[in-house]
Structure 1
Amino acid sequence: MPSSEVFNQRDGAVHTDSQGHPVGKPYAAQRAGQNGPLLLQDFALIDALSHFNRERIPERVVHAKGGGAHGTFEVTDPLDDLTCAELLSKRGNKCSATVRFSTVGGESGSADTARDPRGFSVKLRTEQGIWDHVYNNTPVFFLRDPAKFPRFIHTQKRDPQTHLKDADHFWDYLSQEPESFHQVMILFGDRGVPNGYRFMHGYSGHTHKLVKKDGSFVYAQFHYVSKQGTKFFTQAEADKLAGENPDYANQDLFEAIERGEHPSWDFCVQTMTPEQAEKFRYNICDLTKIWPHDEFPLRKVGTLTLHENVKNYFAEIEQVAFAPSHLIPGIEPSADPVLQSRLFAYPDAHRYRLSVNYAQLPVNAPIHMPANFQRDGFMAFHNQGNRPNYQSTIQKLTYPEAPYDFSAHEQFVGSLITELSSVTELDFEQPRKLWEKVFDDGAKQRFVDNVAGHLGGAKSDEIKRRTVSIFYAIHPDIGNGLAQRLNLGKVEPFKPLPASEAIKFRANLANRS
C-alpha cells in the first residue's frame, strides 16, 4: 500500500474546504444579515453538505461486511519446478499484501458471527503484476453451475415483501440442489462460525493450473493454513456476540495487530497431473468436491503475515478490489465454469462500484503503473501523459511474447463440464465421510441441532421433507435425527444416479482423448 503519511499527521494542519481554501470557522455559515437566510454563495457549507450526500458508494452485493489489514507474503519453498511465476521461483522472494476477510450474505452492518462462509481475499503486488487470491474459508461451495449463483444469493438475502430473512427461501433453494449439501454439512457443523478471522483457513476451492515456460502444467488447489490454529463458536456463543459485539471479528483482528500479535498463514498447494485428473474419482472442475490430502498432500510454498493495520478503512478496505482474473504468468484458471464466470463477474462489479479505473486507486494499483491504450473515464488520474492511446510508431511500447502455449487434453476437460449437470452418488460420498470420519458424537448432535433450529423456521412442510430426504441420502442417522426433531414422520431418501454412471462417462472421455 503506497504511503499515506501526509494524511495522518496530527500537527495542526490548516482546516480548508475541498479546494484548499482556508476556512477559519468550520461550523459558521454565511447569512443575509445577522439572522437572515443562508447564502448560496457559501461554497464551504454547500460543498460540505453536497459531499455528505455522496459519501457512500454501492455496497458489495455479497461479502459486504468485512475487515482487513496489510502485510507481507514471503516464499519459503520455491515452486520453480512447477511454474514459471517469478514470485514463486526463489526462496526469500517477498511482496506486499493487502487482505480482506468478510462474511458472505449479510449487509455492511450485519454481525460478524453469522453462520455463513467467510471470504478470504489476498492481494499480492508482484513484479509481474497483481495476483489476487479470492478464496473462502471452506474448501467447497454450494454450487457448480455459474447460472445458479445470483439466484442462490437472492435466497440468502431478504424477502421482497417482508424484507426479512426467510428460512423457507433458504431451504427451498438448497433442497432443490443436492450437490450443495457438502457445503451445508460444513456450514452447519462446528466449523460454521469461525472465532474471528485469525483462526480460520482459506481455500481456493477452484482448480487452477501451474504452468512452466514449455507449456507443461499441473492442476493445483491452493490453501492458506492458519498458524494460529482454528477456533470456532457454538451457535449460542455466536448469538450472544451478535447482540453484544457484532463487530467482534474486525475488533479482534485490529487489536491483535496493535498488540504485535501478527497473524500468519502458510500458503500451500495440492497438485495433480493431467494424467491423474483423467483417472481421479471426482471431477476436477467441480466446486463441490475436495481433493483428498492422502492422495494429493499439501506442499508448503510461503507464508503470509499481517503486521500493519489500515490508516483509513474506506480507502484501504472498502475500496480494495479483488478478482480471480488478476493472475500472473505461470498461474492460470482451469475450465471450472464457476471460476470462469468469476473471471468476468468480479471486475464487472468493481467497474460498477468503484468506476472503470478501480485499478488506479492506491490500494489496488500494481507496483508498475500500466502502459496501455486505456484512457479517461470516471476517477482517471493516471492517464499516462502524452503517450498515444493506440499502437504508435512514434512512441513505441514493447510487446512481450506469450510466456507459454498449451492445449493438452482439452477434449477431456471440455467434456467434463457436461457431467456437472447430473446429481450422482458421488455428490454424497464426501459429505458422508465428513459425518462418519470427522464429526464425533458431540459434533453430530450439534449439527442436527443447528440444522433443526434453522430448518424449523421454515413454514413449508414440503420444503422440510425435501431437505431431510437429501440428508437421508447422505446418512440415515442425519435423516432420522432431523425427522424426529421436526416431527415429520417417515421421509423417503433422495435417490441420486449411481456413481458408476459418472465414472463410466469420464473413463470413456479419457479413452477418446
Structure 2
Amino acid sequence: MAKRYLTSNQGAPVTDDQHSLTVGERGPILLEDTVFLEKIAHFDRERIPERVLHAKGAGAFGFFVPYKSMSALTKAEFLQNPEKKTPVFVRFSLAGGSLGGADTVRDIRGFSVKFYTDEGNYDIVGNHIPVFPIRDPLQFPDLVHALKPDPVTNVRGGPIAASRFWDFMSLRPESMNFLTYLFSDVGTVKSYRTMQGFGVNTYKWINLCGEEVYIKYHWQPCAGVEYIDSKTAVRLAGSDPDIAQRDLFDSIAEGHTVEYEMCVQILKVEDECKLPFDPLDSTHIWPEDMFPLLPVGRMVLNKNPGNFFVDVEQSAFAPAAVVPGIGFSNDRILQGRIFPYGDTQRYRIGVNYLQLPTNMPRRSIDNKMQDGAMQTIYSEGVANYLPNTIGGGMPAEAPETGKPVCNFVSGIIDRKEPSGDDYYQARYRYRNMSPKEKDHLIANFTEALSQVYEPIKRRMLEHFMRTDKELGSRIAQSLNMTM
C-alpha cells in the first residue's frame, strides 16, 4: 500500500497532528495554530441538528446561594452575598450516546451549570468524572470519532466498535486514570440526583487586588453519592431507558428539591511547578489530602422546564462564558474548549443563540453586533460601529473592577508532548479501591475487552501492567491471556 501523508483541507502538509502549538510546555495555545482551528471548527460542524456530544439530556432550573462572601479569593459578584439567590439552569447529559440512547449505559455524564448573574452568564461546563481521557484538545475530534459508531456499518456493538475505542485509548496512555473511573461503577448512572459533578478544568479566581489562585470545581449531591453496577445498568437500559431523566423531573414535580453543594480546591499560582505532577493537566486530579475541598455554597433545583425543546434542547453552554473574578488558566484542554463550544452552538442553533430564553443573560445587552439569522435585538441609531461620535460614543467600554491582572508568558513556540507519569494516579486509585470495587472494575474491563482485536488487547494489557501488576495480571487471567 502506498504511503499517504496527512494534509489540511487546503492540501498543506500537517507535520504534527497530536500536539497543539503552545508557548512552552505549559503555556497557552496560540490562535495561529491553524491545524487545531481547522480541525476543531470542522468537527464542530459534523452533525446537524443533534449535538455531536451530550445529545441526550435533562435539565432543571433553580438558584445558587454562597455560604459566605468569597471576596478574599474572587471578586465574582454572585459569590459575595449569602443573602442573594442567583438563578441557575443545569443540564445533565450523556456524552457519547444519541437522543434515543439509554440513561444507564456506561458513558461520561455532563454536569453543566449556567449562572444568570448580574454581571452576565457564567457557565461551568463539567462532567461526572473528574478527569479527561486526553490532555491535548487537538485530539478531541479523534476521541469522539472513536466513541461514536464506525463510519462503515454505523453499529455501536461488536468487535469493530470495541476495537476502535480501545485502539485509540491504547495509544493515549494518559487515558488510564480516566478509564479507572469510566469502567468502575461510576460509569453507570441511575439518578442525576445522586451523581457528582466536576469542572474538570483548572480555572483562576481573581480578587479585587488582582491576586489569583487556581481552582477546581466539585459538585456534591446532598442526597448522597450512588451509582449502579453493570448488570443493573443493562437491565434498566432495556426496561426503563429514560430513568435518570424521568427521576429528575418526577422528583421536582412532586415538590422535592434537588440539591448540590459547590466546593472548590485551591492552589496558589506560585506553587504550580512545585508539585510532582502538572496541576493544569486535565488527566490528573488534585489529591484531596493535599488540596482539601472548601465548601462554597448550595445549589437548589426546584423548577422543571416548561417545554423540553425550548428550555433544554436549545440550551447552550460554553467555557468561554465567564464573569469578572473568574479567569482562564493555561490548562490545555480548557484553552481548547474556549473557542469551539460557542462555535458549535452558533452552527447548531444559530449565530444569535444567546437570544433564546434559556440562554439569554438576565442583564441588558448592549453592543454593535448586528443581523444574522433570527436577530431580534438591535442597537438604535445609525452608528452601528465603535468608536463613534454620532451615537455619543455609546456604548462606552465598561470600567475595570479592582486591580487588573497582567500575566507574563514566554517560551519556545513548539508542538510538544508534556512530560509526566501517565500511570501513577490510576495506580493510586486502583490500590485504594475496596475488594468489591476492584472486582467490578476488572469484570467491566474484561467484558469490554473480550471482543477487541488481539494486538489492541495486548497493548491495553501492557498499560494495565504498568499501572499495577495485580490489575494487569487479573485482567489477563480473566481474558485467558498470558503476558
TM-score, normalisation: structure 2: 0.86
Q: Which amino acid in the other structure matches residue 295 of structure 1?
A: M
Partner residue of 2:443 out of 442, 449, 452: 449
- CA contact 2:105–2:189 (8 Å) conserved in 1: no
1:8-157 correspondence to structure 2 within 5 Å: 58-157=49-148
Post-superposition CA distance 1:377-428 (Å, at most 9, x none): 00111123436311232332221233443335645xx689977534x4x221
Quick check: 1:461 aligned with 2:454?
Answer: yes
Alignment-derived partner of residue 3 in structure 1: none
Instruction: Give the alignment's Cα RMSD to 1 decimal.
Output: 1.8
Find runs of 4+ consecutive structure 1 residues off by over 4 angstroms.
414-420
Q: Which amino acid in the other structure matches residue 312 of structure 2?
A: I
Post-superposition CA distance 1:401-459 (Å, at most 9, x none): 33443335645xx689977534x4x221111111111x11111111111011011121x
The CA deviation at 1:57 is: 6.1
Alignment-derived partner of residue 418 in structure 2: 421
- CA contact 2:149–2:155 (8 Å) conserved in 1: yes
1:377-456 correspondence to structure 2 within 5 Å: 377-386=372-381, 388-391=383-386, 392-395=388-391, 396-403=394-401, 404-408=403-407, 410-411=409-410, 420-422=417-419, 424=420, 426-437=421-432, 439-456=433-450
1: CA distance between counterparts of 2:408 and 2:439?
45
Q: Which amino acid in the other structure matches residue 211 of structure 2?
A: S
Alignment-derived partner of residue 52 in structure 1: none
Partner residue of 1:230 out of 217, 225, 228: 225
Post-superposition CA distance 1:47-73 (Å, at most 9, x none): xxxxxxxxx960000000110111111
Q: Which amino acid in the other structure matches residue 449 of structure 2?
A: L
Alignment-derived partner of residue 17 in structure 2: none
- CA contact 2:103–2:190 (8 Å) conserved in 1: no
2: CA distance between counterparts of 1:461 and 1:244?
34
The CA deviation at 1:212 is: 1.8
1:182-201 correspondence to structure 2 within 5 Å: 182-201=177-196
Give secondary structure in 1 for the equivalent of 2:281.
coil
Would the alpha carbon gap of residues 304 and 480 (structure 1) be closer, same or farther in structure 2, given more than 3 Å must change? same
Would the alpha carbon gap of residues 254 and 178 (structure 1) be closer, same or farther in structure 2, given more than 3 Å must change? same
Bigger relative contact order (CA 8 A; separation at least 6): 2
The CA deviation at 1:78 is: 1.9
1:90-489 correspondence to structure 2 within 5 Å: 90-165=81-156, 166-386=161-381, 388-391=383-386, 392-395=388-391, 396-403=394-401, 404-408=403-407, 410-411=409-410, 420-422=417-419, 424=420, 426-437=421-432, 439-458=433-452, 460-489=453-482
- CA contact 2:215–2:267 (8 Å) conserved in 1: yes
Q: Which amino acid in the other structure matches residue 300 of structure 1?
A: P
2: CA distance between counterparts of 1:415 and 1:76?
44
1: CA distance between counterparts of 2:413 and 2:282?
13
The CA deviation at 1:75 is: 1.4
2: CA distance between counterparts of 1:90 and 1:185?
39
Q: Which amino acid in the other structure matches residue 307 of structure 2?
A: N
Q: Which amino acid in the other structure matches residue 364 of structure 1?
A: N
Give secondary structure in 1 for the equivalent of 2:252.
helix
Q: Which amino acid in the other structure matches residue 471 of structure 1?
A: F
- CA contact 1:358–1:364 (8 Å) conserved in 2: yes
Would the alpha carbon gap of residues 322 and 172 (structure 1) be closer, same or farther in structure 2, given more than 3 Å must change? same
- CA contact 1:69–1:309 (8 Å) conserved in 2: yes
1: CA distance between counterparts of 2:121 and 2:414?
29
Post-superposition CA distance 1:282-308 (Å, at most 9, x none): 112200101111111111111111000
Give secondary structure in 2 for the equivalent of 1:352.
helix
Post-superposition CA distance 1:466-498 (Å, at most 9, x none): 0011011111111111111212212xxxxxxxx
Give secondary structure in 1 for the equivalent of 2:139.
helix
The CA deviation at 1:213 is: 2.6
- CA contact 1:209–1:217 (8 Å) conserved in 2: yes
Identity of aligned residues (%): 38
Q: Which amino acid in the other structure matches residue 343 of structure 1?
A: I
- CA contact 2:449–2:457 (8 Å) conserved in 1: yes
TM-score, normalisation: structure 1: 0.81
- CA contact 1:77–1:300 (8 Å) conserved in 2: no
Q: Which amino acid in the other structure matches residue 75 of structure 1?
A: P
Give secondary structure in 2 for the equivalent of 1:243.
helix
Would the alpha carbon gap of residues 420 and 401 (structure 1) be closer, same or farther in structure 2, given more than 3 Å must change? farther
Q: Which amino acid in the other structure matches residue 141 of structure 1?
A: F
2: CA distance between counterparts of 1:159 and 1:408?
44
- CA contact 1:67–1:102 (8 Å) conserved in 2: yes
1: CA distance between counterparts of 2:443 and 2:78?
46
Give secondary structure in 2 for the equivalent of 1:198.
helix
2: CA distance between counterparts of 1:179 and 1:387?
55
- CA contact 2:133–2:176 (8 Å) conserved in 1: yes
- CA contact 1:139–1:204 (8 Å) conserved in 2: yes
Give secondary structure in 2 for the equivalent of 1:138.
coil
2: CA distance between counterparts of 1:387 and 1:267?
46
The CA deviation at 1:190 is: 1.9
Post-superposition CA distance 1:336-388 (Å, at most 9, x none): 11111111010000000110000011110111231001011001111234363
Would the alpha carbon gap of residues 293 and 234 (structure 1) be closer, same or farther in structure 2, given more than 3 Å must change? same
2: CA distance between counterparts of 1:168 and 1:241?
25
2: CA distance between counterparts of 1:409 and 1:400?
24
Post-superposition CA distance 1:319-339 (Å, at most 9, x none): 000000000001001011111
